Amino acid sequence: MGTWIFFGILIAAVVFLISVYNRLIALRNRFKNAFAQIDVQLQRRHDLIPNLVEAAKAYMAHEQQTLINVTEARSAAVGARKGASAHPENGAAVAAVGRAESALSGALANFFALSENYPDLKANENISQLMEELSTTENRIGFSRQAFNDAVMTYNTYREQFPNNVIGGFVGQFEPAELLKIESAEARTAPKVSF
Kindly list the domain boundaries of the chain, sorted by start residue. 23-184
Cα dist. 154→103, 123, 159, 160, 164 in Å?
28, 46, 9, 10, 13
According to the model, what pLDDT value does residue 100 have? 96
| 105 closest CA partner among 35, 180, 179 | 180
Nearest-angstrom CA–CA distance, 182 and 98: 5
Q: Give the pTM.
A: 0.83
According to the model, what pLDDT value does residue 190 have? 44
What's the whole-number average pLDDT of the chain? 88
More reliable by pLDDT, 36 or 64: 36
According to the model, what pLDDT value does residue 126 have? 84
Q: Name the most confidently modeled range: 43-47, 168-172, 183-187.
A: 43-47
CATH 1.20.1440.20 fits 23-184, yes or no: yes
Res 193 pLDDT > 70: no
Nearest-angstrom CA–CA distance, 121 and 162: 58
| 84 closest CA partner among 143, 28, 36, 30 | 36
Indicate the pLDDT class of residue 185, thresholds 50, 70 and 90: low
Instruction: Give the pLDDT confidence of 128-174 residue by residue, as tens digits.
Output: 888 899 999 999 999 999 999 999 999 999 999 999 999 888 888 88
Asked if residues 90 and 84 have their Cβ atoms less than 8 Å apart, the reply is yes
Single-letter residue type at 136: T
Q: State the DSSP string of the chain.
A: -HHHHHHHHHHHHHHHHHHHHHHHHHHHHHHHHHHHHHHHHHHHHHHHHHHHHHHHHTT-GGGHHHHHHHHHHHHHHHHHHHHHHH-TT-HHHHHHHHHHHHHHHHHHHHHHHHHTT-HHHHH-HHHHHHHHHHHHHHHHHHHHHHHHHHHHHHHHHHHHSTTHHHHHHHH---PPPPP-----HHHHSPPP---
Instruction: Give the pLDDT confidence of 91-138 residue by residue, as tens digits.
Output: 999 999 999 999 999 999 988 888 888 888 777 888 888 889 999 999
